[in-house]
Amino acid sequence: MQNTEWVPEKLKGAAFFLAWLAGLFLIAGLAWFLSRPVRADISMRNINTVLKNARELRQLEAPLADKSIPRLKAAKAAQLGTWYSLHNSEDRAVVFSIMTDGILAPYLLFVSPRGEMGEPIPLGAHSAQMLERLPREVLQTYRKRLLAGDALLSGEKK
């Protein structure tokens, strides 16, 4: 009789524990998933403000992954940064970050339809101060990888 009571008690404990974990995952997951469009919008607005302050006429329009690009290609290209289409230009923009000493420094690069890249524009005040301290080789490596991402989006093999 004792044994039969013990098993449901143990199962009840495990189920209770799993319910707590599932609840926490569910709340956090829903909060992050449902707020994604709002977060993307806030980020884009902030980036556009920074571009305006830097007297850059080009402005971000929308994330490129939302448009007519195959999902697999977009996912591969997004491994290093988020790609955006522009309001008043044929160019693309990519927002990426470089990690130094545990801090992620965000930058933006414009890429022309022919695959030419501009200079990185620092998005944060910290990124601006870090840009002059970054070794050129690190930036070069990031540029090469971003160019590979751009080639994927353009459908060209470079």
Residue ranges that bind other proteins, judged by CB under 8 A: 13-14, 16-17, 20-21, 24, 27-28, 31-32, 35, 38-39, 42-43, 46, 49-50, 53, 97, 99, 101-106, 123-129, 133
If the CB atoms of residues 16 and 157 are measured against other proteins, the closer one turns out to be 16
How far apart are CB 64 and other proteins at their closest, in Å? 19
Residue 14 is encoded by which pair of tokens? 């495990």
If the CB atoms of residues 146 and 152 are measured against other proteins, the closer one turns out to be 146
* Bridge partners, 33 (sequence order): none
How far apart are CB 154 and other proteins at their closest, in Å? 27
Instruction: Give the separation between CA 23 and CA 32, rounded to whole angstroms.
Output: 14
CB-side exposure of 30: number of CA atoms within 13 Å? 5
Instruction: Give the separation between CA 22 and CA 157, rounded to whole angstroms.
Output: 44
* In the block, residue with structure tokens 């195959």: 70
If the CB atoms of residues 63 and 151 are measured against other proteins, the closer one turns out to be 63
